[in-house]
């Protein structure tokens, strides 16, 4: 497995593979890898000739209030896991290699970036789309794999790829959960045992909405009320617990088309997100 820091070197490897006619799968990450990330890598190794991953804690997607320096970094374990899965290349740049002195060009993200996370983390998707388009240039893959756990991120990246004619297929992979339902996240390691127990209310609320919809309940206001009822006693604050159109992320009144229920809530000092597709 090649480990490269330099964008030029990473591109040279990808270019060589492409000239050899090999398909490249790309798994962009911020490290602190868990079974969710490894499922993306596994899928890429099954579907593509070679797999490249990136590990970069992207400063431009963190706001000044969010503690970038506190983000977990577990590089040695990450590399060992990727090596074991047969990853061919890992791009691990330093911040100044991605954002050199004088860097000033950013992507203006699509409308789907405005609601939900966009309301609470205003410049987050500007940073995400900018780094993702850079990664797509540095490692021009055939397919890029992202987890459905970050549902809005996926929607924003898919739209950017469509709008900017980026010749990469974006594939969404199912959220990986612990046996008790907790969605895997690098941030789960911040939770104390007591907070982890409370954090289960996110998947419980989403499951409840899913089962109510299966039973025929379709009024979004009622469903959202139910999510809040479950979340309120167990969380410290709720940023949103809502149901939106799965394509546009616009608010809905009734579940009359494919939708997604999304939650962002704080448990202790940790902000957790989760979602579930409904109304298939």
As measured in angstroms, the least distance from the Cβ of 39 to ligand PAF is 14
Among 27-35, 74-82, 194-202, 261-269, which window interacts with ligand PAF (CB under 6 A)?
27-35
The reply on whether position 29 binds ligand PAF by CB under 6 A is yes
The reply on whether position 274 binds ligand PAF by CB under 6 A is no
CA distance linking residue 4 with residue 14, whole number of Å: 12
186 and 30 Cβ atoms separated by less than 8 Å: yes
Task: State the CB neighbour count (10 A cutoff) for residue 5.
Answer: 12
Residue among 7, 25, 28, 81 that touches ligand PAF (CB under 6 A): 28
The residues annotated with a catalytic role in the active site are 37
Site string for ligand PAF, 52-71 (x = CB under 6 A): ------x--x----------
| Choice between 134 and 198, CB closer to ligand PAF | 134
Q: Which residues pair with 276 in a beta bridge?
A: 261
Distance, CA of 122 to chain centre: 16
The reply on whether position 40 binds ligand PAF by CB under 6 A is no
Going across the sheet that includes 270-278, the strands are 237-245, 259-267, 270-278
181 and 209 Cβ atoms separated by less than 8 Å: no
As measured in angstroms, the least distance from the Cβ of 231 to ligand PAF is 23
| Choice between 60 and 203, CB closer to ligand PAF | 60
Counting residues that bind ligand PAF (by CB under 6 A) gives: 10
CB-neighbour burial class of residue 134 (10 A; exposed 0-12, middle 13-18, buried 19+) = buried
């Amino acid at each position: 497995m090649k480990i490269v820091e330099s964008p030029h070197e990473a591109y040279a490897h990808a270019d060589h593979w492409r000239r050899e006619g090999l398909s490249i799968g790309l798994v962009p990450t911020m490290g602190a890898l868990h079974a969710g990330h490894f499922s993306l890598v596994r899928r890429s190794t099954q579907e593509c000739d070679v797999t490249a991953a990136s590990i970069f804690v992207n400063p431009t997607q963190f706001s000044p209030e969010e503690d970038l320096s506190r983000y977990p970094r577990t590089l040695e374990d990450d590399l060992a896991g990727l090596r074991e899965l047969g990853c061919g290349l890992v791009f691990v740049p330093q911040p100044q290699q991605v954002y050199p002195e004088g860097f000033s060009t950013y992507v203006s993200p699509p409308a789907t970036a405005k609601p939900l996370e966009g309301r609470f983390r205003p410049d987050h998707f500007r940073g995400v789309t900018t780094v993702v388009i850079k990664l797509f240039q540095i490692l021009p893959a055939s397919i890029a794999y992202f987890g459905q756990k970050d549902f809005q991120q996926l929607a924003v990246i898919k739209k950017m790829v469509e709008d900017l004619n980026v010749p990469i297929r974006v594939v969404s992979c199912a959220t990986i959960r612990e046996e008790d339902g907790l969605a895997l996240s690098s941030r789960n390691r911040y939770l104390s045992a007591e907070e982890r127990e409370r954090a289960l209310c996110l998947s419980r609320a989403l499951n409840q909405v899913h089962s109510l919809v299966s039973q025929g309940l379709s009024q979004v206001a009622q469903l959202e009320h139910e999510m809040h009822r479950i979340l309120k006693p167990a969380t410290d604050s709720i940023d949103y617990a809502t149901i939106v159109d799965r394509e546009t992320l616009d608010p809905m009144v009734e579940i009359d088309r494919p939708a997604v229920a999304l939650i962002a809530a704080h448990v202790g000092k940790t902000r957790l997100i989760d979602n579930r597709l409904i109304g298939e």
